[in-house]
Amino acid sequence: MDQQANQQANQQANQQKQDTDQQQKPTKQQEQRNMHHGFDVEAIRKAAANLDDGAVTEGYAADREAICKMLNDALATELLCVLRYKRHYYTVKGRANAGVKAEFLEHAQQEQEHADSIAERIVQLNGEPDFNPATLTQRSHAEYDDSEDVNAMVRANLIAERVAIESYRQMIEAIGHTDPTTRALLISIMAVEEEHADDMADLLTK
């Protein structure tokens, strides 16, 4: 008799717990309403202040100085790539190399666009883009090349593009989700660098 009473009591307790959990569980409509109004109002109000910080609000989660340092290294890499491609464009000779020459010029122009975008992002983060030519080669991940043989030029550019791809991959991984704007920028640049590497691989005489 006591065992039966205990079972009934346990069943009642379990039922009461289920009823309580069901009451506390938000409905789908409540969840949607909470998401709609789930902003940090205080942080939003703070964003209206500190106007000197420009695009950087208090909610910015990344290490701004570290990001700017990373971007300046990427800037140096892109600028050196511009110089390397321009050198190859102006020095490659021969009618048979007209297609390669055009490819070098196109890549140089796109690397310049990357450099401009990176410099602009550094300024948005209240940093200073470093265009100092005296330290450019030391800060660049890629290397300059003054080869005279067209195949050597292509090989040097392929190596540089692969270095840039891996550098951007590591930067994107390091940033994670702390700076979505910079992350998106670097992803878009890396996609173009992958196209460049593919172009150079196609041109390379093995």
Q: What is the CATH number of the domain that holds 79?
A: 1.20.1260.10
Q: Are residues 74 and 164 in the same domain?
A: yes
- If one counts the domains in the chain, the total is 2
**167 found inside a domain:** yes
- Whether the pLDDT of residue 3 is over 80: the answer is no
Mean pLDDT for the stretch of residues 131-138: 96
- Pair 34, 74 in one domain: no
Give the C-alpha distances (Å, rounded to integers) separating 132 from 13, 70, 86, 129.
74, 16, 19, 9
| pLDDT score for 27 | 54
pLDDT at 9: 62
Residue 86, pLDDT above cutoff 70: yes
Mean pLDDT of 44-62: 70
Residue 31 has a pLDDT of 45
Do 67 and 168 lie in a common domain?
Answer: yes
Same domain, 74 and 127: yes
For residues 175 and 183, the answer to whether their CB atoms sit within 8 Å is yes
Residue 34 has pLDDT above 50, yes or no: no
Whole-number average pLDDT of the chain = 85
Q: What is the dihedral of CA 190, 205, 146, 134, to 10 degrees?
A: 20
Quote the domain boundaries for residue 92: 62-203
**Residue 153 domain-assigned (yes or no):** yes
Pick the more confident residue, 157 or 53.
157
| In a domain? residue 44 | no
Give pLDDT, residue 38: 67
| One domain for residues 32 and 119 | no
Cα 163 from chain centre: 16
Please, which pLDDT band fits residue 6 given cuts at 50, 70 and 90? low
CA distance 167 to 110: 18
CA distances from 161 to 11, 49, 128, 156 (A): 68, 42, 25, 9
**Which amino acid is present at 46?**
K
Is residue 2 pLDDT above 70, yes or no? no
Task: Indicate whether 34 and 90 sit together in one domain.
Answer: no
In-domain check, residue 47: no
Of the candidate ranges 36-40, 59-63, 167-171, the one whose mean pLDDT is the lowest = 36-40
Q: Is the same domain home to 24 and 69?
A: no
Query: Within this chain, do residues 107 and 197 fall inside the same structural domain, yes or no?
Result: yes
Both 9 and 78 in a single domain? no
Q: Are 104 and 156 in contact (CB under 8 A)?
A: no
Q: Which residue has the higher pLDDT, 34 or 98?
A: 98
Q: Are residues 70 and 25 in the same domain?
A: no
95 and 169 part of one domain: yes
Residue 183 shares a structural domain with residue 132 = yes
In a domain, 142, yes or no: yes
